[in-house]
Structure 1
Amino acid sequence: MAKPKNNQRGGTPRGRSGQRGRQKGGIPAAAIWAVAGVAVVAVAALIFVTTRPSASGPAVPANVQTLDTTKGDPNAPVTMVEYSDYQ
């Protein structure tokens, strides 16, 4: 008669205890968590920097006249006239 096969191999038992803290590729879980944490911090910093209001608005050149109907240097070599009809 044939002997029943023993599923237990010799040596230490194989199980989760030998693989604790490691993924299938052999990368430690702590390294994966560290990379994920750095990525989250980088994304949060990027969002913070891009949504922060600027200290001042756009700079207006000193030679632009903002209180008149014309803008720019009156002695400029090129002038542009704009006509509008609001009907």
Structure 2
Amino acid sequence: MVFGPRLRQFLPYVNFAVATTALGFQTTVLYPWHHQLDAAFHVLKAEQAEMLRTYHDVKLRRFGELERRMQELEKRMQVQDARHGSSS
């Protein structure tokens, strides 16, 4: 084996130290950061929903305006057809 007997003797302690440090990092840094990211995600999600609602309302108003214009155009065409049909 590459490691000497002395290193093999201390390897479990090194492993324990690394694992303890990793656990400490996870509980003191990553876990609170996870909550911060989760809160920011909920804020972002609410903003996105509001933007989609606004976009949907604008789109519906635009469709309503287009529908109104189409109805006016159809009425004008009917009036023109009636004029041309009665004068022939």
Q: Which has the higher helix share?
A: 2
TM-score normalised by structure 1 residue count:
0.46
Instruction: Specify which structure has the bigger relative contact order, considering alpha-carbon pairs within 8 angstroms and separated by 6 or more residues.
Output: 1
TM-score normalised by structure 2 residue count:
0.46
